[in-house]
Structure 1
Amino acid sequence: MNSSQPSTQQFVEVKEIRDSVVYLKGGGLRQILITSGINFDLKSETEQNLITSGFQNFLNMLDFPIQFFIHSRKINIENYLQKMAEFKEKEPNELLKIQLDEYVNFIRTFVEQNAIITKKFFVVVTYDASPINIQAAGGFGGGGLSGLFQFIKKKKTSQPNTELTSSQSLQQLSERTDQVLSALNQIGLKAAILNDEELIELFYNLYNPQLTERKISLPERSEKNKE
């Protein structure tokens, strides 16, 4: 391998992940929230109007850019099937063993023949030394790895801002995150800050879509828990 060729890490905008915060090479700070979803079509007209109005108010009160990010992946059932196989080995009833075998084969065949997609919803909260051009960054939308990094990428300045990663900057990011968490809760969405392990898993899944997905789910913990 030619050592003069740039390494993959040079193309990754993330500098480090620490205390539930993503530190970017350009100096920016990010926190990523995982949120629940709402089946809008099953809501009554009154409920739909309340949700729409609440979401509109949420967007209007923002004075900083955020990104809504959907991560879609084919469902991974290998761990579930492995648990069923272990359960079958411990089952003393031969008839139940046969039924478990048939069940596992049915589930495996069904998933192989039908693309079952799971979707996870994220909100990226930002803090930068200088404002981001939202249009240039692709707006609030975008999905997948390219959409995420189009948003978190910012133009490098000639002089690094040494104050950006100070406690004051982290406090500003935390206050913005609290604001977003509160607003999401008001429209009926549960949200939680991804901790370090969950952030690593998210980026692992984004960079390795062909590999087995590592599980990320909405944690059963306080929305502001960063541990």
Structure 2
Amino acid sequence: MAETKEKMPDKGGALPSQKFIEIKGVQGNTLLLKSGGLRQILMISGINFDLKSEDEQEMIIGSFQSFLNSLDFSIQIFIHSRKLNVDNYLERLVLRESEEENGLLKNQISEYREFIKSFVGENAIMAKNYFVVVPYDPIQLSGGGEAITDKIFGVLKKKGIGKPTERLPESGESDEKQLSRHIEQITHRVDQVVSGLNQIGLRAVSLNGDELLDLFYNLYNPSVVERRNAIENE
């Protein structure tokens, strides 16, 4: 299991970002929270809804509504927007231009590269990634307050939505066996979500350990990532 103990770069004595999140570690595709809860995150493909016919749009909306109604647990849907970095693409164009022997094509590649560079420099081109968070909480804490992890991960707490999780009885089961059983339960939920999204025409892929760490590092350290890219491209 990967523990989230790597220190994030800080600036001006600021606390590292992991102080503000409730992630204890990562096992396989599953986030282990300090509260004992589990989360899996799915990356979802997009569809161009505006290009669909009116009948197709109504069908998609109906399928999505049926999908949500089929769930007996809450999910979170979130969009991660970042400024698109086209440096690698521009480098490939430079290489393509240097390899091109046809003078006319070489000139067209050069003009296209300059256009892309100028356009991106003057306009903030955003890349959007779509995610679904699937929760599983083996222990329901007492009290009416909402846990901090529920606020961080956006797990909805609406009346009539989501099946409450009962406190587990004491047993001689080892922690490792309990964790394995809990991961099996959240995997069943993930399979249900993936199947429902596939019926809408959306492809869903569960993020693995490295991808999860990268996602949260980017979420909580956007300026560090941008600065690192700038340094690497110097």
* Structure-2-length-normalised TM-score: 0.71
Residues 6-39 of structure 1, C-alpha deviations (whole Å, 9 max, x = no match) = 6543222222222111111221111111111222
Partner of 2:161: none
- Cα separation, partners in 2 of 1:126 and 1:136, compared to 1, 3 Å: same
Does the 8 Å contact 1:30/1:127 carry over to 2?
A: yes
| Alignment counterpart, residue 203 of structure 1, candidates 216, 221, 230 | 216
Does the 8 Å contact 2:37/2:135 carry over to 1?
A: yes
Partner of 1:173: 186
Does the 8 Å contact 1:15/1:25 carry over to 2?
A: yes
- Cα separation, partners in 2 of 1:82 and 1:148, compared to 1, 3 Å: farther
Q: Report the alpha carbon displacement of residue 94 of structure 1 after superposing the two structures with TM.
A: 5.2
Secondary structure at 1:65 match in 2: coil
| Alignment counterpart, residue 152 of structure 2, candidates 122, 146, 149 | 149
Alignment gaps of 5+ in structure 1: 139-145, 153-160, 215-227
Does the 8 Å contact 2:97/2:109 carry over to 1?
A: yes
Does the 8 Å contact 1:28/1:164 carry over to 2?
A: no
| Alignment counterpart, residue 184 of structure 1, candidates 197, 210, 213 | 197
Partner of 1:44: 53
Secondary structure at 1:189 match in 2: coil
Alignment gaps of 5+ in structure 2: 1-9, 156-169, 229-234
Counterpart-to-counterpart distance in 1, 2:227 and 2:28: 23
Q: Report the alpha carbon displacement of residue 108 of structure 1 after superposing the two structures with TM.
A: 0.6
In the alignment, is residue 122 of structure 1 matched against residue 125 of structure 2?
no
Secondary structure at 2:79 match in 1: strand
Pairs within 5 Å for 1:1-227 = 7-93=16-102, 96-130=105-139, 149-151=152-154, 162=175, 166-210=179-223, 211-212=225-226
Counterpart-to-counterpart distance in 2, 1:48 and 1:92: 47
* Higher CA-based Rg: 2
Counterpart-to-counterpart distance in 2, 1:176 and 1:147: 18
Q: Report the alpha carbon displacement of residue 185 of structure 1 after superposing the two structures with TM.
A: 0.6
Higher helix share: 2
Counterpart-to-counterpart distance in 2, 1:53 and 1:190: 18
Counterpart-to-counterpart distance in 1, 2:18 and 2:39: 19
* Structure-1-length-normalised TM-score: 0.73
Q: What letter corresponds to residue 189 of structure 1 in structure 2?
A: L
Does the 8 Å contact 1:137/1:150 carry over to 2?
A: no
Secondary structure at 2:72 match in 1: coil
- Cα separation, partners in 2 of 1:147 and 1:83, compared to 1, 3 Å: farther
Aligned length: 197
Q: What letter corresponds to residue 124 of structure 1 in structure 2?
A: V
Q: What letter corresponds to residue 136 of structure 2 in structure 1?
A: Y
Does the 8 Å contact 2:36/2:139 carry over to 1?
A: no
Does the 8 Å contact 1:29/1:165 carry over to 2?
A: no
Counterpart-to-counterpart distance in 1, 2:130 and 2:22: 21
Counterpart-to-counterpart distance in 2, 1:190 and 1:76: 24
Identity of aligned residues (%): 50
- Cα separation, partners in 2 of 1:66 and 1:91, compared to 1, 3 Å: same
Secondary structure at 1:166 match in 2: helix
Q: Report the alpha carbon displacement of residue 78 of structure 1 after superposing the two structures with TM.
A: 0.8
